[in-house]
């Protein structure tokens, strides 16, 4: 049953990431750096924080048997956000010696994701 929950949540998350990424790339056809994945990861970090805040009021430890956590927390948001694509895009900037864009992209991605997660978590707790 746990694997089925992960499959369902992960499938929806991956499809959502793809569609949101396409929509962003359509709107920003020639961005200065990989803005689509940055926005997707910021949205996903905020959403995961809000999910935790609303449902658990904190970051749950050992919730791997909770169906809601498995399907949404791990499945959906795990597939919606992506560290691997971030790594590829950061490497492409590095490989092309686009140092300022690389530093901006990495900084915004890492610190922005942490910040949006914390905002989502606190808003979720507040509205709980």
Name the burial class of residue 50, with classes exposed (0-12), middle (13-18) and buried (19+) by CB atoms within 10 angstroms of its CB: buried
Return d(Cα 106, Cα 100) in angstroms, integer. 10
Q: Which of 29, 33, 28, 30 is nearest to 96 (CA)?
A: 33
3-class DSSP assignment, residue 62: coil
Flag whether 82 is marked binding: no
Flag whether 13 is marked binding: no
Q: What share of the chain is helix, strand, coil (3-state, %, to 5)?
A: 80, 0, 20
Return d(Cα 34, Cα 36) in angstroms, integer. 6
Query: Binding site residues, as ranges?
Result: 78, 81
Query: Binding site residues for Na(+), as ranges?
Result: 78, 81
């Amino acid at each position: 049953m746990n694997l089925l929950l992960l499959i369902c949540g992960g499938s929806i998350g991956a499809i959502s990431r793809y569609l949101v990424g396409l929509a962003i790339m359509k709107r920003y056809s020639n961005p200065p750096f990989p803005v689509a994945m940055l926005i997707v990861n910021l949205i996903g970090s905020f959403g995961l924080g809000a999910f935790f805040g609303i449902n658990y009021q904190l970051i749950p430890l050992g919730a791997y048997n909770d169906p809601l956590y498995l399907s949404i927390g791990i499945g959906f948001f795990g597939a919606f956000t992506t560290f691997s694509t971030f790594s590829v895009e950061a490497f492409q900037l590095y490989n092309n010696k686009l140092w300022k864009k690389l530093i901006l992209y990495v900084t915004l991605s890492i610190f922005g994701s942490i910040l949006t997660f914390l905002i989502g978590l606190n808003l979720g707790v507040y509205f709980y």
